[in-house]
A = this chain, B = another copy of it.
Amino acid sequence: MQEVGCNHAQMVGFSTDGFATTHTMRKLHLIWVTARLYIEIYKYPAWSDVIEIETWCQSEGRIGTRRDWILRDCATGDVIGRATSKWLMMNQDTRRLQKVADEVRDELSTYFPKELRLAFPEENNGSLKKIAKLEDPAEYSKLGLVPRRADLDMNQHVNNVTYIGWVLESMPQEIIDTHELETITIDYRRECQHDDVVDSLTSYEPIEDAAGLEIHGAANGSATSPKDVNKSFLHLLRLSSDGLEINRCRTEWRKKPASI
């Protein structure tokens, strides 16, 4: 199970590190911050598999950019995963978001594909799904997580891989043992620093019926509990001190393939 986090790290981290700020951004003390990250993994690479990652970047409205990835198994050419992310521009000194100035967009657009291209071209794809707020009290929790030195990036903020690891900390062990992560969506709300203490909360995502009503238990006397069929979870990472939301996350899990 630990490999889920690691794989995501290596796959996604790789390309993200190449995404530098432009000259004008540095002049104006502007940095990129991640607003949302969505990943779908169809097949986890095995030891010694060689993976090819294609990535590109383009405009996302007036206030940000998006970066997409497609992951392929080099040996077969099969697409084994796709990912997309939204980035906003922040002033490094004031920590406030701001619009992407035309000057910066001109610098960036040289590297944008000429035509809009999406890793998830389907309508209503998973990357667009809103993450509902997890209802308190959560069904599972792990309190008092503390950043370690290796969890911090160059800006002394907790890095994206650590966030995923923290989300997984409050997953029920029986799911971890029998399932693997299929999709993950993270909405980033707040930066987390070295001295912060963090709580990780997880609950099964309520299933909505056709009329949009939540089903909280086995409906109409059916013996099948929603938990038997529903393998989606809502997660919340928050500061232990004041309960402020660091990020909100949604995961979907599938049964692990039979091991060899």
Contacts and interface: CB of A to CB of B under 8 A. Distances in A.
Interface in A3-23: 5-6, 17
Interface string A106-145: 0000000000000000000000000000000000000001
Contacts of A96: none
Interface residues of A, number: 18
A169 B148 CA distance: 7
A47 B16 CA distance: 13
A168 B6 CA distance: 21
Counting every copy of the chain, the complex holds 2
Nearest to A154: B2
A150 B6 contact: yes
Classify the interface of chain A: helix, strand, loop or mixed. Answer: helix
Contact of A149 (B17, B148, B151, B168): B168
A217 interface: no
A104 interface: no
B150 A17 contact: no
A154 to B, nearest CB: 9
Contacts of A149: 1-2, 5, 165, 168-169, 176
20 contacts: A1-B149, A2-B149, A2-B150, A2-B151, A2-B152, A2-B153, A5-B149, A5-B150, A6-B150, A17-B47, A145-B148, A148-B165, A148-B166, A148-B169, A149-B165, A149-B168, A149-B169, A149-B176, A150-B165, A150-B168
